[in-house]
Amino acid sequence: MTPRERLLSAIAHKEPDKVPVDLGSTPSSGISAVAYNKLKKYLGIEGVPTRVYDVVQQLAQPDDLILDRFGVDVLDIGRAFNTEDTDWYDVRLPDGSEGQYPAWFHPVRQPDGSWIAFAEDGTPIAKMPPGGMFFDQICFPYIDGYPPDYRDLPEAMGKVLWAALVHSPWDHAGEEDFWQKLREKALALRQSSDRALMIVVGCNLFEWGTFLRRIDNFLMDLITQPCEVERLLDALMEQHMATLEKVCQAVGDVADIIRFGDDLGMDSGPFMSPEIYRKLFKPRHRQLCEYAKKHSRMHTFLHSCGSIYALLPDLIEAGFEIINPVQTSARDMEPERLKREFGRDITFWGGGCDTRTVLNRATPAEVREHVLRRLEIFAPGGGFVFNTVHNILPEVPPENIVAMFEAVREFNGD
């Protein structure tokens, strides 16, 4: 099978010739730039810059050499943008190693050693503290309450770091010919590679409530101000549906997977009861999924961290075909249970290696055993794409990363 055929077969719940592999096709299945530098040094790779394409999470865009070495089967369409050396400039990463930032991103170092990123009007919107490895949100536009109308919603969203400091291709979304370029570059990428293609669109709902109101306020709002929550969600859906329509027109016949996002879980369970999810979010998630399926050939992918076991039946009914990152360390998210109860109905994209206690702390031999066991559980019958539980973090030893991917090769018989 080609990588694209392999991945699409897995999504169709047909066991492919090999377990398909992801690294870096989404900002929740990638690798820290700091860890990436360590990995390149360990593998003896020189002369390849470490480009931080997601500046908030400080994620590297994996180079073709790495993708080939680890047998990666899927690409982010965003990598077709920012391909010139002039699109980047040299920086020192938080650990002192070398990297590159996009030409548009210029955080300002503070006297205490922290870094702050500002909106165009000078509003501080993100901060990386001294010794930190990521940028944190510091601007919550609706923290003092809901506005009387949502005419300023795009402006408010533009002061949230996830939109203001967005990764490719969306850092070009304001350009006049963006949608034409998106199609042209996606077509070129498809013609030059036999890997599956991913388009990341977000269209978050619950998370946008937390970004705008701050999570403590928004969680209370779900109970105390449901009408205000619905008013915000309706305004967000106007924005999202307009974007989704353009995405489907531009790459709906080119991309294989469309990635939505909405972190719905904590370690201990969902942020909300299934009843609240069904009332406030499920109808809108269904609308997004139905539109994508009606107007494209893309498969629907939802990124949601945490314990979402209690919500999985509703997420499946809403139309999501793929779930990521499969946070197996959270309550009720045991791999055996997930595969047994939902393995016929949804594809697990992740869960292949625990990043909280195993990949970062275990020995290479322990990583190998852990990964082989996860593959034995998730791989049978398809419905599985190998990926870590969320991104590979800065402290992960490179030998463990290699051990993880070598275990996949071993399982696949390579």
Question: pTM of this prediction?
Answer: 0.97
Identity at 351, one-letter amino acid code: G
Q: At what angle do helices 226-251 and 215-224 cross, to 10 degrees?
A: 110
Burial 149-184 (b: 16+ CB within 10 A, else e): ebeebeebbbbbbbbbbbbbbbbbeeeeebeebbbe
- Measured between its terminal Cα atoms, the distance across the chain in Å is 14
The separation between CA 348 and the C-alpha centre of its own chain, rounded to angstroms, equals 14
How buried is residue 234: exposed, middle or buried, by Cβ count under 10 Å (0-12/13-18/19+)?
A: exposed
**What are the backbone angles phi and psi of residue 144, rounded to the nearest 5°?**
-90, 0
**What are the backbone angles phi and psi of residue 191, rounded to the nearest 5°?**
-70, -25
Strand order in the sheet with 322-324: 74-76, 196-202, 257-261, 299-303, 322-324, 347-349, 384-385
Query: Which residues are paired to 202 by β-bridges?
Result: 260
Identity at 66, one-letter amino acid code: I
Identity at 266, one-letter amino acid code: M
pLDDT at 188 over 90: yes
Report the share of the chain in percent with pLDDT over 90: 100
pLDDT at 400 over 90: yes
Torsion from C-alpha of 355, 360, 361, 364, nearest 10 degrees: 100
The residue-averaged pLDDT of 25-54 equals 97
Grade residue 414 by pLDDT with cuts at 50, 70 and 90. confident
The residue-averaged pLDDT of 25-37 equals 98
**Residue-wise pLDDT tens digits, 281-309:** 999 999 999 999 999 999 999 999 999 99
The H-or-E segment that residue 113 falls in is none
Q: For residue 167, what are its two tokens?
A: 């990764």
**Residue-wise pLDDT tens digits, 157-180:** 999 999 999 999 999 999 999 999
| Count of CA atoms in the C-beta half-sphere (13 A) of 141 | 22
